[in-house]
Amino acid sequence: MALGANGLDLCGLAPDQAGMSTVRKLKRGDRLCVASHNKGKVREIGDLIAPFGVEAISAGDLNLPEPEETETTFIGNALLKARAAAQASGLPALADDSGLVVHALRGDPGIYSARWAGPDKDFAVAMQKVEDALRATQADDRTAHFICALALVWPDGEEAAFEGRIDGALVWPSRGDRGFGYDPMFVPEGETITFGEMEPDAKHAMSHRARAFAQLVAERFA
């Protein structure tokens, strides 16, 4: 779903209404600040950007502070992080806010997915918390989905946001050492292996991040 600066769905609007006639695009040779200190996330975004010749520089490499995520939606937090990085770096900034939504847990951990990993960002701990919470519910439902919100912001304030989703189910014990975050316990719909067992190219072809990125590329890459 492609969203405008105010979070409005742009589908169905005439080109002049949606601002499409003057959409700014990233082009080969541009530099882009990836507003994240998560090395796995930065690596995955870098892999997605690389074919377009855009140079990715992480907020961590630039020693930018991590803003407190105070919004209540994935899109809101992605915009918050991208705005902060764009202002601090003077570069267009791309931020990702993503998380695991577990249906039997009423959407948890959701926007708090990273916080469940604690200050050390230990996702083995986070996955155990998810499994313990599922067992406590005594529910048979192990369905879940990943959400990825991407926000692209320029230092002058122009911005756009996109959201992708992939559905699946959770397994335990976790399997695989690829990917990052909750990947080793998530089996995407129609597959038999977890994201943690999957080759990176296979994951990039279907993931929530890849789906959001496809929208970003279609609208904002030259």
Query: What residues have CB less than 8 Å from 193, skipping those under 6 apart?
Result: 175, 176, 187
Please tell me which residue in 16, 47, 61, 97 is annotated as part of the active site.
Answer: 97
97 catalytic residue (yes or no): yes
**Look-up: residue for tokens 């002049």?**
16
Extended beta strands in the chain, E state: 2-3, 31-34, 55-58, 93-102, 143-153, 159-170, 186-188
Which of 215, 149, 146, 142 lies closest to 180 in space, CA to CA? Answer: 146
Answer for the pair 210, 163: CB distance below 8 angstroms, yes or no: no
Active-site annotation, residues = 97
